[in-house]
Chain A
Amino acid sequence: MKKLLLFLLVALVYAAHQDVWNWRQPGPMVFGFLPIGLAYHAGYSIAAAVMMAILVKFDWPKGLEERETSSSRPSPPQS
C-alpha cells in the first residue's frame, strides 16, 4: 500500500509538470511581477524537492546501508 501511494505521488508530480492550463496565460502576475507560468514552475521545483523528501523518508533503500556496513572491501582512507 505504501509503495502504491508513493508511486501515485510520483505520477501526480510528473503529470503536474504538463500545466496546459497556464500555456497562454501571462497572468495573474504573482507578487506583481512573476508571470503565472514561471511562478507555477518555480513552485513545481519546490514540490519536486518535497516529493524527494517524502521518498527519502518512506522509501529509502535501507538494504544499501546494510551493504555499506557489511562491505567486504577495506574501508578507504578519509580525505
Chain B
Amino acid sequence: MIPVVVILVYLAVIAVVGGVAWRRGKDNTEDFFLASRSIGPIFFFLSIFATNMTAFAILGSSGQAYRQGIGIYGLMASSSCFVIPLTLFFIGTRLWAIGKKFGHQTQVAFFRDRWECNHIGTVIFALSAAMLVPYMIISIMGGGTVLADISASPETHQPLIPYAWGCAIVAVVVTLNVFLGGMRGTVWVNILQTTLFLCFGAVAVVVISHALPLGFCDYMQKLAADPKTRFLVTRDRMPPQTFWSYTLIPLSSIMFPHMAIMCFSARRVSAFKQTVVAYPIAIMAIWLPCVFLGVLGFAALGKIPDPDGVLLRMLQSYAPVWLAGILGAGIISAVMGSDAHQVLALSTMFTRDVFAHYGGHEKFGERRSVHFARGFIVVVTIIAYLVALALKEKQGIFEIAIRYAFSGFAAMAPVMVAALFWRRSTKWGALAATIFVAASLIATGFLQGKPAPAPAPLAAAKPSTNTLATAAVPTNTAPNLVVTNAPPSKLASTTPAAAKPKEDVIWQIGQGPDAIKVLSRAPNGDVRFLNGYMTVFPMVLGSILCVVFFSLATPPPGRETIAKYFDT
C-alpha cells in the first residue's frame, strides 16, 4: 500500500507542475514547444538525460544482467557513455545554433531549408513519426503494467490498480502535464525524475548490502566458482559481433525527435559543456548499481519467474517498504518522463512540419497553432490509450518495433551528419537514405515475423536440477531481450521435452565451417548479418552509401543556401 501512496503523491505533483508551468507560459509555439529556448545549463542536463533514460535503465538493465550477466553494462551503458556525449558535442551544439539563428523547431524544418526541399522533408517526418509512435504506446502499456504490479496484494496477487486504470492514470497525468505545461512542464518533471534516478541506485546498493545474509564478495565468488553461473561475471555468452554492433545503437539518440528538439531548447550553447561531461557519469550512476544488483539478485534469490522484476524482488526481500515506493515512483517517473517528451515531440512535429508547413499557420495564426498542438496531444494520447488496451496481449510486437526503431534512428544519423557538415550533400541523398532505412526496417520486420524453422527433436536431453542455471536461460518472453545466445545445449537441458532451438540461415556464401552467413535469424527470431552482426550495422553502412552516392550524382543546393549554412 505504501508504494502505491508514494506513486499517487508523485503523480499529483506532476499534474500540479503542469498547472504551474501553464501560468508561466505564453501563447506561441516557440514557448510551448521549446520553452522559448530558455532552458539553463543544469535544467538542460537533467532534462536531456531524463529524455533519453526510460524505465529500461532501472528495470531492464537489472533484468538483463540477471539473465546475461555483467556484459550488459559494456553492451548498453558504456557504449552510450562514449557515443551520446559525442553526438551532443558535434551534432547537438550545431542544431542548437542553427535553430537559434533561423528559428527551426524540428529536424525536418532544418532539412527542408538546408536542402531546399518540401515533400522529402515530409517523407522524413513520416518515417520519424512511424518509429516514434510504438515507443509512445509502450510507455502507456508499461505504466499500466507497473502500477498493476506494484499495487498487487502479496496474498491474492490481485492488483489494487488494474491495468486499464493504470494506463488511464498515466495517460491522463501525461496529458495534463504536456497539455498545460508544454516543454516547460515536461522539463520541470524531468528534473524530479533524474534526481530520483541518480539517487536511487546508490541508496539501494547500500541498503541491500546491510540486509543480505552474506557479503557482496561471497556472492560474487560463488558465481565465479560455479561453471554454470560463471557466465554472469564474464561475457562468455556474449558474441563479440553483438558487442561491437551495439556501439552503433546510441547513434539513434540524437536522431530521436524528442532528443533533437531538446537541443533546440537550451538558452546558451554553453549548456552543452556541462552536459557532455556529466552525461557518462550519470549513466554510470544509474546503470552500475542496477546491473550489479541484477547479477547479485541471481546469486541471492535464485530462480524467479520474471527476471525484469529482480530489482523489485531484491527490494521487497532486503529493503524497507519505503524504498520500494521510491523505486515505484522512479519507474513511473521514467515511463512518464519519456512518454511526455514523445507526445510533445509528436505534437511539435505535426504542428510545425505538417500543419504549419502546409499553410495552417498562415491561415490560423500563432495562437491557434498552439491550440491545434494541444488538441493533437489529447487526440494522440487517447488513441495511444485505446491501442494500449486493445492490444495488451500483443505488447511484444511493440517491443520488437521499438528495438528496430533504435536501429532505424541510428541509420538516419548519417543524414543529419551530411546536412550539418557536408556542403555537397543533397536532398536526393537524404531521400535515398530515408527510403533505404524504411525498406530495411520493413524487410527486417518481415524476416522477424516469419515462422521459425522446424526445431530438431531432442529425445536424449537430460533435465537439469540446478535452479540457478535454469533461471539463467534467456527466454523469448523476456521483453527488451537483445542478446539471446545461450548455447543450445544449455537451453535444451532445462526443458527436456522442448526441442532444440535452431538458427535459420537465410543467405549463406560457401559451405562448411568457413561459410559466411550473410543473413540469418537467431533462435529468438532476431535478424543477424555477416556471421552475427546486428542489422544496425548494414543499415548505417547502407545509409552512408546512399547519402554519398546520390548526393554526388545529383546537383547540389543553391549557392545562397550553402552560404547561409556554411559561410557565416
Contacts and interface: CB of A to CB of B under 8 A. Distances in A.
A68 B268 contact: yes
B277 A53 contact: yes
Interface residues of A, number: 46
B97 A68 contact: yes
B78 A45 contact: yes
B292 A38 contact: yes
Contacts of A68: 97, 100, 268-269
Closest 3 interchain pairs by CB? A33-B216, A76-B36, A26-B224
Contact of B220 (A35, A60, A79): A35
B283 interface: yes
Interface of B: 24, 26, 30-31, 35-39, 70-71, 73-74, 77-79, 81-82, 85-86, 89, 93-94, 96-97, 100-101, 103, 184, 215-217, 219-221, 223-224, 230, 233-236, 240, 243-244, 247, 267-270, 273, 276-281, 283-284, 288, 291-292, 568
B184 A41 contact: no
Given A33-B215, A45-B288, A49-B85, 18 more contacts: A14-B82, A32-B220, A33-B216, A34-B220, A35-B233, A37-B71, A37-B74, A56-B89, A56-B276, A61-B94, A64-B93, A64-B269, A65-B269, A68-B269, A76-B30, A76-B36, A76-B37, A79-B39
A44 B281 CA distance: 10
Contacts of A37: 70-71, 74, 233-235
A1 B283 CA distance: 32
A18 B288 contact: no
The secondary-structure label for the interface of chain B is helix
B86 A10 contact: yes
A73 B30 CA distance: 12
A20 B240 contact: yes
A44 to B, nearest CB: 5
A2 interface: no
A45 B36 contact: no
A71 B279 CA distance: 28
B77 A45 contact: yes
A29 B217 contact: yes
Contact of A35 (B89, B234, B267): B234
A60 B273 contact: yes
A18 B217 contact: no
A59 to B, nearest CB: 8
Interface hub of B70, B268, B278, B292 (most chain A Cβ within 10 A): B70
Given A24-B235, A34-B292, A41-B78, A77 B38 contact: yes
A52 B268 contact: no
A67 interface: yes
B297 to A, nearest CB: 14
Contacts of B86: 10, 52
Nearest to A27: B224
Contacts of A44: 74, 78, 81-82
